[in-house]
Amino acid sequence: MDEIRVTDLFARYGEDKLIILLPETGIIKAINLVKKLKKQIEEQKFIQGSDVTCSFGVLDFNQHDNIDDFIKKVDDALYNAKNFGRNRVEIY
């Protein structure tokens, strides 16, 4: 994934969740990035022809949030994406 920069953090968060932290990136650029990643994943050919989809929650960091608030909000956006049909991007 050439879109992930050296300054970004891409890591597993929980059993079936990944997180990408994009420092000094505006919300529009973050949304565009995850839409591009979602498309790349959709178009990827996997063994045995199985399709893989992904849901994303996107949140612009608010200086007044602590890390727990931040994670809860982005997690809420992710679950909204899953609950509203999966394979989509939801913004908090």
Give the start-to-end residue ranges of the domains of the chain. 9-91
Q: CB-based burial of residue 73 (10 Å sphere; 0-12 exposed, 13-18 middle, 19+ buried)?
A: middle
Predicted TM-score (pTM) of this structure = 0.83
**Average pLDDT, whole number, for the chain?**
90
Quick one: CA torsion of 13, 65, 82, 31, rounded to 10 degrees? -90
> Homologous superfamily of 9-91 in CATH?
Reverse transcriptase/Diguanylate cyclase domain (3.30.70.270)
> Do the beta carbons of residue 90 and residue 73 sit within 8 Å?
no
pLDDT beyond 70 at 38:
yes
CA distance 56 to 22: 14
In the prediction, which pLDDT does 1 show?
Answer: 58
CA 81 to chain centre: 10
